[in-house]
Structures are given as C-alpha cells and as structure tokens.
Amino acid sequence: MFRSPVLLVTAHGSRDPRHAATVHALVARVRALRPGLRVETAFLDFNAPAVPQVLEGLTAEGVRDVVVLPLLLTRAFHAKADIPAVLHEAAARLPRLRIHQAEVLGPSPLLLTALERRLYEAGLTPGDKSSTGVVLASAGSSDPEAIAVIAEIARELRYTGWCAVRPAFASASLPRTQDAVRDLRAARGVRRVAVAPYVVAPGFLPDRIARGARESGAEVLGEVLGACPELARLLLTRYDEARVPVRLAAVSA
C-alpha cells in the first residue's frame, strides 16, 4: 500500500524565539488542515531539531519517503545551496530514505492574498486600495533571480488595485524600506503608505523592516505572513506537487 510521504517543513531558524514559535504555529495549522498527514519541523540553524537529526529519526522508524519543504519565499542561496547540500549529505548516509525537495513557496497568488490579509488586519479596507501605496518589503538577497521575483510580485500586487507598489529590501539589495516609503510619498495619487513585510516569521530583518516603516512615517505596517491560512494552504500545495512523482515511482516499482 502506498503511504503518503512525511512532510518535513524546513525553516532557516533564528536566535529570536518568535521565529520558531511562528513556524510551529504555522505547522500546527497545516496539521489541522490535513489531519492524516504526518508533518515534522526542522531548522537549518539556531533552532532544534536540525534537518539531519529529523531525517535520521524518520529512517529509524522505517519511513521510506519524505518531502522536504523549504519555508522560503524565493529561490535564493538557502534554496539553491544550503538545503540541497544538507539533503545530499543525508541521502548518502541514509540510503533507505527517499528524500524529495519541494519548491519554495513563492511566487503564488495565495501569497498576494496573504499580504493583503495582513494589511487589512492592520486597518486598511478594500476601499483604501486606490489611494494607498504599498511597500513590498522582503528580507533581501544578492541573488538576481530572487530580486527579479520580488520586483515581479510588486507588479502583480499593483495589478490588484493598489495605487502604487514599490519593492524594498532589509539587506543585500536596495532600496531600503524607508527609502521606498519616501519614494511613494512623492508619487501622484498616494494618500497613505502601507508597508507589507514579505517575510514568513519575525526576527532581525523583519524588525529592520518595521523600524524603517516607523522612521519614515508609514501610516500602516502589516504583520509578517506567519501562520495565516493562505500560507498553510500553500505549504500543502507545494507538498502535493512534490509527492506526485513519489506516487508514480511507488506505482511503477
């Protein structure tokens, strides 16, 4: 009988305790959406358990297939190098375990919906869109592909009806949040500026985004995406996409 692969949600990790707490809350929501699915959590750094530790435990239990889902919004260094290196090393040590890496979360229409949810929760209404400029503030990356994706998401968000949208970055790239806020203030038709953090969980860089929003006088600051329902649904979508070849392999074996 075919058994669904275990879903291993893999986050970066942080010294900030809010980070792990948010990841665990999101995983709890995923479990609630699909009660029959086994969902585990691991971290690349700072927090426990580490990815190799979880994979070793699953192997000891006799698990044959696991889908490792990076809790990342773009394909940058962690998705292209860190996680594949960890999984390659684990696969060499654990030959009985089939390890499948899912795609990163973004881009996705569900993330656009989640961003708007956080802005509405912060006090905006759908009627405010035509006069509100939005700063799409990401953690930042030096990877050109990741930067291009953020710019494209900003364009897609603009098409949903916001007056104007500017991308911003907390590190590695420019502009910074506060500079994007000031740029929007000079834009025609913008009556208020909202900052939408395009990050999963709290930590050092999200705090930098929040400081930039406050220092530049943004009227609205959304919360991080966190354990919102859209993000939980997106995790399951990425899992389902990754487990299709797993099922096909099991059927043909």
Over residues 205-226, the pLDDT tens digits come to 999 999 999 999 999 999 999 9
Looking at the structure, do residues 117 and 101 belong to the same domain, yes or no?
no
Q: Which residues of 40-49 are buried (b: 16+ CB within 10 A; e: fewer)?
A: bbbbbeebee
The pLDDT > 70 percentage for the chain reads 96
- Residue 95 is given by DSSP the state T
| 116 and 100 fall within a common domain | no
Query: What pLDDT is attached to residue 252?
Result: 42
b/e sequence 158-176, b meaning 16+ C-beta within 10 Å: beeebbbbbbbbbebbebb
Look at residue 248 and tell me whether its pLDDT is greater than 60.
Answer: no
pLDDT at 246: 64
CA angle, residues 211, 208, 72, in degrees to nearest 5 = 140
Range of the domain at 190: 109-221
Residue 17 and residue 86 in one domain? yes
Q: Where are the alpha helices (DSSP H) in 79-225?
A: 83-93, 109-121, 144-159, 177-185, 204-215
Based on the fold, state whether residues 128 and 201 are members of the same structural domain. Answer: yes
Written as one letter, the residue type at 204 is F
Q: What is the mean pLDDT of residues 125-129?
A: 96
Same domain, 128 and 140: yes
Model pLDDT, residue 78: 79
- Element housing 198 (H / E): strand 192-198
Residues, the chain: 253
Q: Looking at the domain assignment, is residue 56 inside a domain?
A: yes
Q: Would you state the pLDDT for residue 21?
A: 98
What's the rounded Cα separation, in Å, for the pair 48 and 241?
Answer: 27
pLDDT of residue 104: 97
Q: At what angle do helices 229-252 and 17-33 cross, to 10 degrees?
A: 60
- Which token pair is 202? 């709290």
Residue 42 has pLDDT above 50, yes or no: yes
Give mean pLDDT, residues 136-163. Answer: 95
Tokens representing 187?
Answer: 């834009």
Mean pLDDT of the chain: 94
Contact (Cβ atoms closer than 8 angstroms) between residue 24 and residue 207 = no
Alpha-carbon distance 49 to 42, whole Å?
Answer: 5
Give the residue-averaged pLDDT of 97-110. 97
The answer to whether 191 and 143 have CB atoms below 8 angstroms apart is: no
Which residue, among 235, 13, 242, 209, has the nearest Cα to 106 in the 3D structure?
235
Instruction: Tally the domains of the chain.
Output: 2
Q: What is the pTM of this model?
A: 0.94
Q: Based on the fold, state whether residues 72 and 156 are members of the same structural domain.
A: no
Reply yes or no on whether the pLDDT at 138 is more than 60.
yes
Give the N- to C-terminal CA distance of the chain in Å, as an integer. Answer: 12
Secondary-structure percent of the chain, ordered helix, strand, coil, rounded to 5: 50, 15, 35
187 and 244 part of one domain: no
Q: What is the CATH number of the domain that holds 174?
A: 3.40.50.1400
pLDDT at 41: 98
Instruction: Please state, as a whole number, how many other Cβ atoms lie within 10 Å of the Cβ of residue 74.
Output: 23
Examine residue 1 and state whether it is found in any structural domain, yes or no. Answer: no
**3-state secondary structure at position 228:** coil
